[in-house]
């Protein structure tokens, strides 16, 4: 009780004072009223007052201070309040008595160690017992009433970095060594250690006994770890391990907090961390005041967890108040969130903080998250845009405009017509990995059908299909592509893609057909195709209206500003697909209206988007169709292929596909033994390969090379 | 409808970041347990952990993917003051059979003297560049002069923002009309230090990054910042996670190309939502920049969408605590508190 009341009377805040020289170690007297700071060039006692540190006493006296003053460590006796011990860098162990009347307070001098003494430690209950550990590998126990050490302990290991008397076991002390070992000794048995274990890889710089748990020892090492060992059992057990970011120079258990300990580092890191050993990854609290390496830390009072004192190489002495510490955990981001390409949303959330198990929740946001009418609306908007464009740029003087829908066949966009249909559809076709001739045929016939209706519709359909409102369709797009690749449905024809849009236009008040269903209805029957032709009534009516609005003799140029405005509008909405599609379709009609830089920007964005979705063929088509110099050269770079003959492994000269040496065709399909034209895939290990679909087919049955070379092929 | 699927990530402490790769087929997570995991999408859309390894000696704050043109490359940054570039190597075949891939450390960037809080690759068109920002307020831009050699990075620029940085975002625009631009957010909570979002722009004449704009209205700690995918726009849209969600529009004003002064911007606030009622930790745009997702201390993910009038509205709230979900295999419908009735009309639920 008396102890506690004394604690509460000491207030304080985060304060510091400048020292004259860097500190190596600090120690505090039992009642927390004074602190001693020791270093190579400093040995002073400061009083702790309400509003800061006050220098009380300078122990470095004499004109030429001896090396005995150059301290590596210092300890204030916890029972005898006038008694101090220091470890000198020259190997001396010195005791100081503040009660001495003269200026020189030095009491005893032990010069038994041959090298630097790293640590001194008073026994917690035995007044006259002092322990030292030195670089020379020996530990010595001194009785302060005698002139010499009473016993010497040889660790038989390397240098001793730390020695600590056990708080609860009268006879026990722990020593930590440069080679990673920790030894337990009984002071009555100097001949050999009681116990030894390897605690760290590399030096163990420090150790500290838990103030309450007699069995717990914390050790810190150069391997950046703090480990807590349970020594109470027969077999020493590591119960906690804290990974810090720099080598651990000091470790001190926090008073009154069973699981907390403070650490500081001897290089790189200047901060003091307080860890909760149960949460070994994030510091519980951090003190960030020091500008150089912290060399000594000590809790101000052995029953007060709120104040920590520290000395540093930056020549300051700090009193840290726990309330002022920064809490990294509060600043750490507890959540992760990321949008995927296909509308997936990954969200990493904390479950329960200490349980350790954390779960990521992947929320696949489905394609229909937008209300249906909106989707309709946006599609309707786009199809209307295309219709308007057709009206604006088609043959103005065609009298049969409103009555005969074949106008476009003789429209004034023959070039655009052929390009938009053929090129784009090829792109589309390729995208579905359907390079087959018959497919192309049916494609073209279907496209011709389309021609009769509308020349731009085809590209529109495709455009819509790609990214209409990408957020909505991305998912579909992806799944569909995959379905195709997986199922390898050869019947899958373009028309299905080209037509559904028209369904949507036709019955836009109702919900659009889900795109996923398309692959499931593999054929568009002729009647269906017909019906789609017929259902272009919508466009009819629009056209007839526009006939009334505009004079048929307006030149297409007249509309350019409007179209430009429209394109900019789409670009502003982020619908770069629409902007690029119109650019491509209208070609030189609109090109001059929009500055090169903007066009290039649109193309680049669109190509990037296509490539994200791995639509390489489409993106290449777009590059080919673009008119910007900067874009067109995109697929001109690094187009050289160096080929070796798959038979004799020699480089092929660039004269066709027959190898000069072995006189065989190098690109024979290993499955069907025909020359491969088009997509040729080969194993980079054995260089055998063939038609993509043949090899894929083969790999379903066997992992070995179809050429019979015995190689386990890897296609990456 | 939203279909949620829980993945037991098995990280031993908080997950700080999750990131999809360019094609959306892979995912990386990083955690305070000092490890990173890479997840690959399997055949039926489940995610398999294909790599898990200890990366840093401190909490790993962020992870980010490089453009696949540079290979399978990840960068991570940590409390241990380093940023690391990782590359996946095509491993031994027995590795592959176990479904594991191998990531090796290509370089460690050790210039920072404090915690590195964010790491981002620059847009692809700028080459292979990496940016880090640290708690002491320094933004560093590194470049790999040889894209084939990921172990060599040279520090090109050091920008001192004077405020503790928490997040960075590159302007993804590839237009030649837009100079390289980077937005930096600070989590300094002292309101009197002024704007917490600074925008730096590369100046061709001086060959340096210079401050172009400070969003003075954002005075609270900023935890995340994200430019929307540009998609051919002439202006920039920036989402900010602070004590609320904010969306800014930055319209570059015309300037003559010869002048060395940074571009002036007309800054408009498009939206500001405090419906998380707490700190917002993350914002993320979808690929077409039509949807913004935000997550906050309330444990919810909210989705925001603009209508044709450019009015931003909440279109969905997802409960993210997941505690009852984690035990159950398979999909669970997490759609709750949906403000817009229309959402419930959707017909399809895909798994």
Convert the pLDDT of each residue in A12-48 to its tens digit: 788 888 988 999 999 999 888 899 999 988 899 999 8
Beta strands A204-209 and A248-253: pairing type? Answer: unpaired
pLDDT value of position A530: 36
Which of A341, A343, A337, A340 is CA-nearest to residue A368?
Answer: A343
**pLDDT the model gives residue A689:** 82
- In 3D, which of B120, B193, B134 has the Cα closest to residue B166? B134
Q: For residue A425, count CB atoms less than 10 angstroms from its CB and return exposed for 0-12, middle for 13-18, buried for 19 or more.
A: buried
Mean pLDDT, chain A, as a whole number? 73
The pLDDT confidence band at residue B176, using thresholds 50, 70 and 90, is confident
Give the residue from A17, A36, A16, A9 showing the smallest Cα distance to A25: A36
Which pLDDT score, from 0 to 100, does residue A462 have?
A: 38
DSSP A535: T
| Most confident residue range from A292-306, A382-396, A511-525, B84-98 | A292-306
User: What is the structure's pLDDT at A10?
Assistant: 56
Q: Is the pLDDT of residue A453 over 60?
A: no
Least CB–CB distance from B24: residue in A340, A367, A511? A340
Continuous H helices in A414-469: 414-418, 424-431, 437-453, 457-467
Please identify among residues 208-237 of chain A the ones whose CB lies closer than 8 Å to any CB of chain B. Answer: 224
Write out chain A residues lying below 8 Å of B34, CB-based.
243, 281
Q: Which residues pair with B118 in a beta bridge?
A: B133
- pLDDT band for A538, please (50, 70, 90 cuts): very low
Q: How large is the average pLDDT for residues A566-578?
A: 84
> Per the CB < 8 Å rule, is A339 touching B173?
no
DSSP letter for A423, please: I
Nearest CB to B343; choose among A348, A369, A576: A369
Size of interface A-B (CB pairs under 8 A): 289
Kindly report which listed range (A280-284, B42-46, B269-273) carries the lowest average pLDDT score: B42-46
Q: What DSSP element (H or E) covers B317? A: strand B312-319
- At residue B1, the pLDDT reads 52
Q: Considering only CB atoms, which chain B residues are within 8 Å of A511?
A: 347
CA distance B221 to A467: 37
- A655 pLDDT tier (thresholds 50, 70, 90): low
Strands ordered across the beta sheet of A43-49: A25-28, A34-38, A43-49, A52-58
Where are the extended beta strands (E) located within B216-259? Answer: 224-227, 236-241, 245-252
Q: Which residue has 């020349």 as its token pair?
A: A455
pLDDT of residue B159: 94
B137 vs A contacts (CB less than 8 Å): none
The number of beta carbons lying within 10 Å of the beta carbon of residue B350 is 18
* Nearest by CB: B59 against A281, A364, A470: A281
Percentage above 70 pLDDT, chain A: 70
Asked if A455 reaches chain B (Cβ–Cβ under 8 Å), the answer is no
In whole angstroms, what is the distance from residue A451 CA to residue A458 CA? 9
Interhelix angle A616-625/A596-612, rounded to 10 degrees, is 160
The mean per-residue pLDDT over the stretch A88-115 comes to: 88
CB contact (8 A) between residue B5 and residue A364 = yes
Nearest CA in chain B to A280: B33
pLDDT tens, A63-72?
676 777 888 9
**pLDDT over threshold 80, residue A489:** no
Q: What is the predicted pLDDT for the residue at B92?
A: 58
pLDDT computed for residue A468 by the predictor: 36
**Mean pLDDT calculated for residue range B118-147:** 94
Q: CA angle B21-B23-B27, nearest 5°?
A: 35
Tokens of B260: 């060395």
pLDDT at A79 over 50: yes
Q: Which of B223, B301, B185 is nearest to A331 (CA)?
A: B223
Instruction: Read off the pLDDT band of A439 (50, 70, 90).
Output: very low
What digits encode the pLDDT tens for the residues B40-93? 988 777 888 899 999 998 999 999 999 999 999 999 999 999 999 999 987 655
Which range is least confidently modeled, A354-358, A611-615, A676-680, A699-703?
A: A354-358
- Local structure of A683: helix, strand or coil: coil
Mean pLDDT confidence for B276-288: 89
Confidence of residue A590 (pLDDT cuts 50, 70, 90): confident
Taking the whole predicted model, whether its pTM rises above 0.80 is answered as no
Picking from A574, A580, A716, the nearest residue to B290 by CB comes out as: A574
Positive or negative: CA dihedral B250, B256, B257, B262: negative
Q: What is the DSSP letter of A421?
A: I
pLDDT confidence bin for A260, thresholds 50/70/90? very high
Mean pLDDT confidence for A137-152: 91
pLDDT of residue B129: 95
For residue B311, the distance in angstroms to the closest alpha carbon of chain A comes to: 13
The position carrying tokens 């992947």 is: A362
d(C-alpha B212, C-alpha B255), whole Å: 13
Residue A431, pLDDT above cutoff 70:
no
pLDDT at B209: 93
pLDDT computed for residue A265 by the predictor? 92
Structure tokens given for A436: 């087959």
Q: Token digits for A705?
A: 């090379």
Q: Which residue has the higher pLDDT, B183 or B296?
A: B183
| pLDDT over 80 (residue A360) | no
Class (C level, CATH) for A15-331: mainly beta
CB B104 within 8 A of CB B90: no
**CA–CA distance from A88 to each of A72, A294, A653, A656 (Å)?**
6, 19, 79, 84
Give yes or no for residue B298 having a pLDDT over 60. yes
Tell whether the model's pLDDT for residue A539 goes beyond 50: no
Give the span between the Cα atoms of A273 and A284, in whole angstroms.
Answer: 7
The answer to whether residue A493 scores a pLDDT higher than 70 is no
Whole-number Å distance between alpha carbons of A165 and A261: 18
Beta-bridge mates of residue B145: none
Mean per-residue pLDDT for A465-470?
38
Share of chain B above pLDDT 70, in %: 86
Q: How far apart are CA A684 and CA A181, in angstroms?
A: 51
- Please tell me the predicted confidence (pLDDT) of residue A716: 63
| Assigned token pair, B135 | 């708690």
Which tops the pLDDT comparison, A660 or B154?
B154
Per DSSP, A51 falls in state T
Q: Which residues, in sequence order, are CB contacts of A610 under 8 Å at separation 6+?
A: A466, A616, A618, A619, A622
Task: With a cut of 50, say whether residue A158 has pLDDT above it.
Answer: yes
- Averaged pLDDT score across all residues of chain B: 83
Q: Which of residues 183-202 of B touch A (CB under 8 A)?
A: 187
Least confident range of B25-39, B53-67, B333-347: B333-347
Question: Given CB atoms, is A241 within the 8 Å cutoff of chain B?
Answer: no
Q: What is the pLDDT of residue B94?
A: 57
Q: What is the pLDDT of residue A563?
A: 84
- Measured between CA atoms, how close is A271 to chain B, in angstroms? 10
The band of B256, judged by pLDDT with boundaries at 50, 70 and 90, is: low
Q: Distance (Å, rounded) from C-alpha A492 to C-alpha A486?
A: 12
Q: How far apart (Å, rounded) are the C-alpha atoms in residues A174 and A613?
A: 63
Residue A188 tokens, joined: 């009555």
Q: A678: alpha, beta or left, given left = phi > 0 and alpha = psi -120 to 50?
A: left
What's the rounded Cα separation, in Å, for the pair B245 and B276?
8
Q: Residue ranges per domain, chain A? A: 15-331, 559-635
- Are A256 and A213 in contact by the 8 Å Cβ rule? The answer is no
Identify the pLDDT of residue A294: 93
Find, in chain A, the residue whose alpha carbon is nearest to that of B279: A333
Contact list, A362 vs chain B (CB under 8 Å): 4-7, 47
CA geometry: angle A419, A420, A424, nearest 5 deg? 100
Cα separation, B199 vs A585, in Å, equals 38
Query: What Rg do the C-alpha atoms of chain B give, in angstroms?
Result: 20
Phi-psi region of B339 (alpha: psi -120 to 50; beta: other; left: phi over 0): alpha
Q: What is the ipTM score, two decimals?
A: 0.86
Residues in CB range of B158: below 8 A, 6 or more apart: B138, B139, B140, B141
Say if the Cβ atoms of A359 and B301 lie within 8 Å: no
Q: Which residues pair with A316 in a beta bridge?
A: A18
């Amino acid at each position: 009780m008396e102890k506690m009341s004394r604690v509460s009377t000491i207030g304080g805040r985060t304060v510091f004072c400048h020292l004259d020289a860097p500190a190596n170690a600090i120690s505090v007297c039992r009642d927390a009223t004074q602190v001693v700071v020791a270093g190579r060039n400093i040995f002073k006692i400061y009083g702790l007052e309400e509003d800061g540190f006050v220098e009380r006493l300078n122990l470095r006296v004499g004109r030429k201070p001896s090396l005995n003053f150059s301290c590596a460590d210092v300890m204030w006796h916890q029972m005898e309040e006038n008694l101090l011990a220091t470890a000198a860098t020259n190997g001396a162990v010195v005791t100081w008595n503040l009660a001495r009347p003269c200026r020189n307070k030095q009491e005893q001098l032990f010069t038994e160690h041959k090298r630097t003494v790293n640590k001194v430690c008073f026994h917690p209950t035995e007044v006259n017992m002092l322990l030292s550990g030195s670089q020379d590998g020996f530990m010595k126990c001194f009785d302060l009433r005698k002139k010499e050490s009473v016993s010497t302990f040889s660790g038989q290991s390397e240098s001793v970095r730390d020695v600590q008397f056990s708080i609860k076991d009268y006879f026990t002390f722990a020593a930590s060594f440069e080679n990673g070992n920790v030894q337990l000794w009984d002071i009555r048995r100097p001949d050999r250690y009681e116990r030894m274990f390897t605690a760290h890889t590399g030096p163990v710089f420090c150790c500290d006994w838990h103030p309450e748990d007699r069995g717990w020892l914390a050790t810190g090492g150069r391997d950046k770890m703090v480990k807590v060992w349970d020594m109470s059992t027969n077999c020493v057990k590591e119960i906690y391990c804290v990974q810090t970011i720099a080598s651990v120079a000091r470790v001190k258990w926090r008073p009154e907090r069973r699981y907390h300990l403070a650490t500081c580092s001897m290089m790189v890191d200047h901060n003091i961390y307080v860890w909760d050993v149960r949460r070994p990854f994030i510091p519980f609290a951090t003190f960030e005041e020091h500008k150089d390496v912290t060399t000594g830390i000590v809790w101000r009072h052995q029953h007060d967890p709120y104040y920590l004192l520290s000395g540093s190489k930056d020549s300051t002495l700090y009193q840290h108040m726990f309330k002022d510490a920064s809490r990294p955990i509060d600043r750490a981001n507890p959540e992760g969130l990321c949008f995927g390409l296909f509308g997936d949303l990954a969200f990493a959330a904390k479950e329960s903080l200490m349980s350790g198990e954390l779960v990521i929740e992947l929320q696949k946001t489905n394609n229909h998250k937008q209300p249906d009418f909106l989707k309709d609306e946006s599609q309707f908007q786009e199809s209307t845009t295309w219709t308007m464009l057709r009206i604006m740029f088609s043959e103005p003087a065609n009298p049969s405009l409103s009555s005969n829908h074949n106008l476009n066949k003789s429209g004034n966009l023959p070039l655009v017509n052929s390009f938009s249909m053929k090129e784009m559809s090829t792109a589309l076709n390729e995208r579905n990995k359907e390079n087959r001739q018959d497919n192309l045929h049916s494609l073209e016939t279907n496209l011709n059908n389309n021609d009769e209706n509308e020349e731009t519709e085809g590209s529109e359909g495709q455009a819509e299909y790609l990214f209409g409102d990408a957020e909505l369709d991305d998912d579909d797009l992806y799944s569909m592509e995959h379905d195709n690749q997986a199922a390898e449905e050869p019947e899958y024809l373009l028309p299905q893609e080209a037509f559904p849009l028209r369904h949507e236009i036709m019955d836009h008040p109702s919900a659009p057909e889900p795109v996923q269903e398309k692959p499931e209805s593999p054929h568009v029957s002729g009647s269906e195709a017909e019906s789609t032709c017929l259902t272009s009534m919508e466009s009819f009516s629009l056209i007839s209206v526009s006939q009334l609005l505009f004079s048929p003799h307006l030149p297409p140029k007249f509309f350019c500003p409007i179209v430009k405005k429209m394109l900019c509008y789409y670009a502003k909405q982020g619908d770069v697909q629409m902007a690029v599609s119109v650019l491509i379709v209208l070609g030189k009609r609109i090109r001059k209206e929009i500055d090169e830089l903007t066009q290039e920007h649109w193309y680049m964005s669109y190509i990037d988007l296509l490539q994200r979705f791995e639509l390489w063929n489409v993106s290449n088509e777009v590059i080919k169709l673009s008119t910007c110099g900067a874009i067109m050269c995109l697929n001109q770079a690094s187009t050289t292929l160096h080929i070796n003959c798959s038979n004799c492994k020699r480089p092929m000269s660039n004269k066709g596909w027959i190898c000069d040496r072995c006189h065989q065709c190098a690109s024979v399909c290993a499955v069907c033994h025909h020359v491969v034209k088009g997509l040729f895939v080969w194993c980079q290990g054995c260089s055998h390969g063939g038609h993509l679909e043949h090899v894929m087919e083969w790999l379903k049955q066997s992992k070995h090379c179809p050429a019979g070379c015995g190689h386990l092929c890897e296609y990456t | 409808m939203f279909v949620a699927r829980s993945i037991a990530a098995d990280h031993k402490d908080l997950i700080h970041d999750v990131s999809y790769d360019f094609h959306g087929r892979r995912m990386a997570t990083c955690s305070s347990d000092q490890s990173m995991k890479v997840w690959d999408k399997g055949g039926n859309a489940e995610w398999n952990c294909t790599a898990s390894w200890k990366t840093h000696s401190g909490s790993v704050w962020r992870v980010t993917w490089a453009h696949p043109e540079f290979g399978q490359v990840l960068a991570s940054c940590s409390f241990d003051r380093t940023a690391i570039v990782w590359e996946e190597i095509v491993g031994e075949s027995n590795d592959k059979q176990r479904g594991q891939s191998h990531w090796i450390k290509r370089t460690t960037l050790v210039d920072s003297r404090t915690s590195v809080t964010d790491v981002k690759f620059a847009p692809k068109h700028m080459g292979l560049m990496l940016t880090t920002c640290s708690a002491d307020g320094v933004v560093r831009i590194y470049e790999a002069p040889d894209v084939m050699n990921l172990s060599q990075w040279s520090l090109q620029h050091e920008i001192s923002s004077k405020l503790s940085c928490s997040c960075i975002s590159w302007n993804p625009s590839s237009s030649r009309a837009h100079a390289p631009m980077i937005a930096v957010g600070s989590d300094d909570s002292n309101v009197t230090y002024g704007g917490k979002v600074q925008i730096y722009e590369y100046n061709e004449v001086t060959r340096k990054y210079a401050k172009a704009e400070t969003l003075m209205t954002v005075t609270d700690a900023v935890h995340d910042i994200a430019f929307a995918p540009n998609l051919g726009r002439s202006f920039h849209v920036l989402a900010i996670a602070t004590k609320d969600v904010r969306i800014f529009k930055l319209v570059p004003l015309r300037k003559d190309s010869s002048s060395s002064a940074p571009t002036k911007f007309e800054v408009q606030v498009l939206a500001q939502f405090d419906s998380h009622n707490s700190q917002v930790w993350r914002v993320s745009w979808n690929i077409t920049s039509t949807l913004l997702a935000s997550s906050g201390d309330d444990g919810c993910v909210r989705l925001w969408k603009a209508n044709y009038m450019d009015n931003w509205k909440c279109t969905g709230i997802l409960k993210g605590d997941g505690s009852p979900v984690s035990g159950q295999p398979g999909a669970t419908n997490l759609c709750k508190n949906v403000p817009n009735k229309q959402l419930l009309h959707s017909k399809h639920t895909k798994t």
